[in-house]
Amino acid sequence: MASGWSTARAPATIANVGPGFDVFCLAIHGLGDAVSIRPADTDVLLVEGVDAELLPHSFAANTAGIVIKALRKATGIETPVEVRVRKGIPASRGLGSSAASCAAAALSFLKAFPESGWLGPGGFLEAAVEGEAAVAGRHYDNVAGALLGGFVSIASTAPLVLAREPVSSRIRIALAIPDLRLQTSEMRRILPRDVRREDAVSNAGKAATLALALVRGDADLAGRSLEDRIAEPARAPFLKGYAEAKRAALDAGATGLAMSGSGSAVFAFATSRRAAEQSAKSMRDAFAGLGINAKALTTTVDNSIPLRALLRDRGARFSLVTP
């Protein structure tokens, strides 16, 4: 094991990206979580930072500890560790807060125990998903985005089949993060069990076009492809101010808007920094008009690859496929 602290960071993520429920994810610049680990006599875990008081502070219950436990089982490395989780992403806002902690824990484990690299990128992704499953249900999109960066599209999880692409900075992202918490597990339970054929066709067409638009760096086409007829209609009524924020963003020049993950954050695409800034402020003001505080941010896709240590033979565009 490496001596001293081994620290890794993972970015916030926007999952679903409109019509790509449980399939699409974007890593974004700005917000992120960091996890540090070092040798100890016994396992211990500390959480600090944004919304730390809302999260488990025990090694066994925190997502970072669960990921490390999964990696121990997979690799046979049993060294006790001290873990520090530094939260930079607010909880229950649809920005991949739990996934970032899971990914950062997996990355710091790899730094501390380089010999665990034989597990490969797929193995580290599976271990990180164990932490995510404990708090938000078993879905791979946020964790994959946090480990791989860029734009991730998942075709299958068993076996794992996914593609990763970089996204041009020409696609600007406006974010509004209201002071409202929506639990991912609850927002998944309200989803419809049955889907009308015309809605399934619409989502498939929008998702395919959105993927092409993101790869091409076409913010106008990407925004026009954000419509989701399946998950968002079920979730939007639980987010006060969503309709008002959407109208405000479009009036300010955004090309399209959707919920980030299961909310409460909302995001919009824009063709310029100015349009993104105006859209973010307009969304913030729309929430404020309803008595809801919200933070406005602008960003772009983070194309760095946090798991690069296990992907040195890959370029910016690659796929992961397991048997």
Within a domain: residue 189? Answer: yes
Within a domain: residue 244? Answer: yes
Selecting among 63, 184, 271, 300, the annotated active-site residue is 184
The reported pLDDT for the residue numbered 320 is: 95
The reported pLDDT for the residue numbered 1 is: 67
Q: Do 162 and 98 share a structural domain?
A: yes
Buried b (16+ CB within 10 A) or exposed e, 125-156: bbbbbbbbbbbbeebbbbbbbbbbbbbbbbee
The sheet carrying 172-178 orders its strands as 256-259, 266-270, 172-178, 294-299
Strands 6-15, 24-39: pairing is antiparallel
Q: Do 253 and 128 share a structural domain?
A: no
Q: What CATH number is attached to the domain comprising 241?
A: 3.30.70.890
d(CA 52, CA 31): 15
Within a domain: residue 265? Answer: yes
Judge whether 1 and 112 are in contact, CB under 8 Å: yes
Q: Do 57 and 100 share a structural domain?
A: yes
Tokens of 249: 């963003």
| Domain limits for position 224 | 172-299
d(CA 102, CA 27): 14
Tokens of 136: 């938000």
Q: Do 196 and 265 share a structural domain?
A: yes
Q: What CATH number is attached to the domain comprising 70?
A: 3.30.230.10
For the chain, helix, strand, coil in percent to 5 are: 40, 25, 35
- List 257's β-bridge partners, or say none: 268
What's the gap between Cα 293 and its chain centre? Answer: 23
Give the CA diameter of the chain: 59
d(CA 263, CA 178): 9
Question: Residue 322 catalytic?
Answer: no
The reported pLDDT for the residue numbered 109 is: 98
Q: Do 36 and 94 share a structural domain?
A: yes
Q: Do 158 and 179 share a structural domain?
A: no
Q: Do 147 and 15 share a structural domain?
A: yes
Tokens of 260: 């980030």
- pTM score of the predicted model: 0.95
The reported pLDDT for the residue numbered 163 is: 98
At position 288, the amino acid (one-letter code) is: A
Q: Do 188 and 162 share a structural domain?
A: no
Q: Do 185 and 235 share a structural domain?
A: yes
Within a domain: residue 226? Answer: yes
Within a domain: residue 307? Answer: no
Q: Do 218 and 139 share a structural domain?
A: no
Tokens of 142: 């946020």
- Residue whose token pair is 């710091």: 108
The reported pLDDT for the residue numbered 187 is: 85
Tokens of 12: 């916030």
Domain count, the chain: 2
Q: Which residues contact 229 (CB under 8 A, 6 or more apart)?
A: 19, 199, 202, 203
The reported pLDDT for the residue numbered 2 is: 64
Judge whether 85 and 45 are in contact, CB under 8 Å: yes
Q: Do 134 and 66 share a structural domain?
A: yes
Query: Residue 274 — φ and ψ, nearest 5°?
Result: -60, -45
Question: Residue 244 catalytic?
Answer: no
Q: Which residues contact 55 (CB under 8 A, 6 or more apart)?
A: 47, 62, 85, 87, 91
The reported pLDDT for the residue numbered 168 is: 93
Judge whether 90 and 33 are in contact, CB under 8 Å: no
Within a domain: residue 312? Answer: no
Within a domain: residue 262? Answer: yes
pLDDT by residue for the chain (323 residues), tens only, comes to 666 999 999 999 999 999 999 999 999 999 999 999 999 999 999 999 999 999 999 999 999 999 999 999 999 999 999 999 999 999 989 999 999 999 999 999 999 999 999 999 999 999 999 999 988 778 899 999 999 999 999 999 999 999 999 999 999 999 999 999 888 888 888 899 999 999 999 999 999 999 999 999 999 999 999 999 999 999 999 999 999 999 999 999 999 999 999 889 999 999 999 999 999 999 999 999 999 999 999 999 999 999 999 999 999 999 999 88
Buried b (16+ CB within 10 A) or exposed e, 262-290: bbbbbbbbbbeeebbbbbbbbbbbbbeee
Selecting among 13, 63, 130, 132, the annotated active-site residue is 132
Within a domain: residue 133? Answer: yes
Q: Do 209 and 143 share a structural domain?
A: no
The reported pLDDT for the residue numbered 258 is: 97
d(CA 211, CA 154): 11
